[in-house]
Amino acid sequence: MRIALVGNQNSGKTTLFNQLTGSNQHVGNFPGVTVDIKRGKLRGNNKLEIIDLPGIYSLLPYSEEELLARDFITNQNIDAIINIVDATNLDRNLYLTLQLLSLEIPLVVALNMMDEAKNSNIFIDLNKLEEMLHVKVVPISALRQEGLLELIDKIQNVYKEKNIVNADFLFKKEEKIFNSIQCLKACFDKNNAIKFHHKYLAIHLLETDESSIPNILKKEDKEQLKEEIEKLENYYHKKHEEIFVEIRYKYIESITSKCVRKNNEITKEQKKSLNIDRILTHKYFGLPIFLLIIMFIFYLSFGSLGPLLSDLLATFLNDFNGWSKTILLNCGVSNTFVSLLVDGIFEGVGSVLSFVPTILILFLCLSILEDSGYMARIAFMIDKPMRKVGLSGKAFVPMILGFGCSVPAILATRTLHSSRDRRLTIFLIPFMSCSAKLPIYALISLVFFKAQAPIVISALYLGGIVLALLAALMIKLIFNSKPIPFIMELPAYRFPSFKSTTLLMWEKAKDFLKKAFSVILIASIAVWFLENFNARFEYVTDSNNSLLAIISQAITPIFKPLGFAKWEITASLITGLSAKETILSTLEILLGSASNICALIGPLESLSLLVFISLYMPCIAAFAAIKKELHSTFEAIMQMIFQTSFAWLITFAVYQIGKVMIMCVL
Amino acid sequence: MTIADLKLNQKGRIISINGKGLLRHRLMEMGFTPQTIVTLRKVAPFGDPLELTIRNYEISIRKDEAKMIEIMEIKE
């Protein structure tokens, strides 16, 4: 039996899903679905599968998520629906419920946050509510695990008894609509191509016209539809969509007036939130407070706890590598194989493993921001400037995270609700110089510019931001794509549940490791191979004879117009793909000391090199993250190619302009 | 007057929603239907978007969308 969990955003859907399935969940692979949908088996009952659909406000396909959720429910053989509803706000939550009922699938309403409702002196007459909705209503508190057994019991019963609501009750009093629905339904009954539920389709089409449904309608169906819509619009003197929305809201108003009794206009949580927001979204203090919070998160993940854990892990991995080397060599295993295993695989994978503590901490912080409701406020505050470049306020946090590490930043785009914004943000994140680039900037600019080094470093950071903004503007102009209008609920502030945040953190890390592992493993082996073998596939000890050297020498002419056509630099750029900090260690190996780079190139060339390093394709771990989030290897590779070519062009411009400027001065 | 003309904590009753298509439909689905009462709660630090209370919840929309919604001022 497959049960879909459907509800508004911020209704506690994910918490309920986590409580029902425990750790018994994974991201499901559904055909044709690009948004991750989690599914899991009910705890203690393997026959019951629960599917967590994206949080939605309506079945109208307004965002990709809503289209997906609707198509999922109508196409994927769902046996029953649990509709989770926030008891503290029936006024809006029941809108989706009324739409879901028209699907005529077995459904139970889970009335969540009952504890909070009681706390705010909201009393709900459950019997009356069941009577008016014509479905079973189970009061629950997902957070406190109350009412969950009853919920599961009820949904199974409803399914077994095929106890399906007849959705007509909503239109009983509206004879004209009722007739139109019947008439269209009769048309559809004759059309075999239609796989949607006929009555739902009739209502949906009358409300939206045919544009949102693939071409399954016959000509006579379309004519009939047009006629019925005209009839309704003439009768009600309103646009057809308005008629349906108003009927639903009128019905909800009659429900709340009969079933809900409350003492205050707004709940305690809302009142508390309005008070908190006096400070957190304050006209002048709001943004500085946000910056402080972000700085604190950065400090935690990149300045204190993160590096501490990373270093511990790195030391351990280092020791582990040392031991395994000694043990394997003592056992008489061949030198080459030990080198492959330890220097290639262990070291490569280990360098990525050391990302994990940072990712964990960042995601812990992020999920607290998201679950508490603060993320929505950030989007609210920063939306206007972000919109200028074609993004919405929600894209801001992932972009900022990019200064720490592209990998968690890219994974964090998951919080964006439109696929368009997500793609654009993923595209822009690598422009933000990640923390691994700072040591490279520092060393090279210190060698060449000494006291002016801080200016150079700041310019590199700023340059990235400016280019990202320009790129975003360019994309906005080329594709003429408008950001989707910003209509966002500002949920009441809530204490995030420990379980949800830790589970989310664990999942992110697991996800990343699993998917990134294969890419990183291959890359590590490849780099090791290039460093240690020559063109005749013989093991070499002098890196000057290695394949890496040969390939680098072949590629190097590309960098001639950029001023740094030295194979040692090319080699470091190549190995830098496995992780950017490797650029320094490779230079170290090839030049004896990285500061010897001043023997190879001059100041202008070093500047050009720095620009190239700041812009060329991100490391393999970031590539893995991009591939994972875009659900496409091709698109991820295209992005890498674009970024590297873009980096080349910009660097070319910088170098040539620099040359001309120097000539003029001389 | 439209929602964009409301002053802080001022209330208005919706008369009509201009515009067309999906956006208008979505605004109505989020609760902006004729006769509904809206309160302006806050303006974002950069002057846009707005935070409103409607149907007992808080929602944020941009001024562009707010200008689409005609209201009648409610005098306290």
Q: How far apart are CA A429 and CA A424, in angstroms?
A: 9
- Condensed to tens digits (0 to 9), the pLDDT of residues A55-108 reads 889 988 777 677 778 888 877 678 999 999 999 999 999 999 999 999 889 999
**A242: which chain B residues are within 8 Å (Cβ-Cβ)?**
17, 28, 33
Better-predicted residue by pLDDT, A66 or A296: A296
**pTM for the full predicted model:** 0.83
Contact status, residue A129 vs residue A137, Cβ threshold 8 Å: yes
Of the candidate ranges A30-34, A179-183, A399-403, the one whose mean pLDDT is the lowest: A30-34
Give the distance between the most distant pair of CA atoms in chain A: 91
The B-side interface with A (CB below 8 A) comprises 17, 22-31, 33-34, 36, 41-49, 51, 53, 55-62, 64-65
User: Concatenated DSSP letters for A302-316?
Assistant: IISHHHHHHHHHHHH
How far is A12 from chain B, CA to nearest CA, in Å?
A: 16
Per DSSP, helices labelled H in A480-576 are: 498-532, 547-555, 567-575
| A92/B34 CB distance under 8 A | no
The partner residues of A137 in beta bridges, in order of sequence, read: A109
Of the candidate ranges A92-101, A111-120, A514-523, the one whose mean pLDDT is the lowest: A514-523
Q: How far apart are CA A382 and CA B44, in angstroms?
A: 8
Contact status, residue A141 vs residue A114, Cβ threshold 8 Å: yes
**B33: which chain A residues are within 8 Å (Cβ-Cβ)?**
242, 245-246, 249
CA atoms within 13 A on the CB side of B12: 23
- Structural domains of chain A sorted by starting position, each given as residue range(s) with its CATH number in brackets: 2-165 (3.40.50.300), 170-262 (1.10.287)
Contact status, residue A278 vs residue B62, Cβ threshold 8 Å: no
| Number of domains composing chain B | 1
Residues 6+ away with beta carbon under 8 Å from A7: A13, A55, A56, A83, A84, A85, A86, A93, A96, A112
Domain that holds residue B70: 3-74
Look up residue A165 and give its DSSP letter. Answer: P
Look up residue A577 and give its DSSP letter. Answer: T
Three-class HEC string of chain B: CEHHHCCCCCEEEEEEECCCHHHHHHHHHCCCCCCCEEEEEEECCCCCCEEEEECCEEEEECHHHHCCEEEEEECC
Compute φ and ψ for B57, nearest 5 degrees.
-145, 165
How far is B39 from chain A, CA to nearest CA, in Å?
A: 12
Contact status, residue A411 vs residue A625, Cβ threshold 8 Å: yes
In order of A142, A374, A398, B61, B68, the CA distances from A384 in angstroms are 35, 17, 17, 11, 18
Tell me whether 0.85 is exceeded by the ipTM: yes
Confidence of residue A180 (pLDDT cuts 50, 70, 90): very high
| A487/B22 CB distance under 8 A | no
Q: How far apart are CA A367 and CA A32, in angstroms?
A: 28
CATH number at residue B20: 2.30.30.90
The pLDDT assigned to A35 comes to: 61
**A211: which chain B residues are within 8 Å (Cβ-Cβ)?**
none
**A490: which chain B residues are within 8 Å (Cβ-Cβ)?**
51, 58-60
Contact status, residue A126 vs residue A100, Cβ threshold 8 Å: no
How far is A391 from chain B, CA to nearest CA, in Å?
A: 13
Among A585, A182, A644, A109, residue whose Cα is nearest residue A348: A585
- Condensed to tens digits (0 to 9), the pLDDT of residues B6-59 reads 999 999 999 999 988 888 999 999 999 999 999 999 999 999 899 999 999 999
User: Concatenated DSSP letters for A580-635?
Assistant: TTHHHHHHHHHHSSGGGGGGT--HHHHHHHHHHHHHS---HHHHHHHHHHHT-HHH
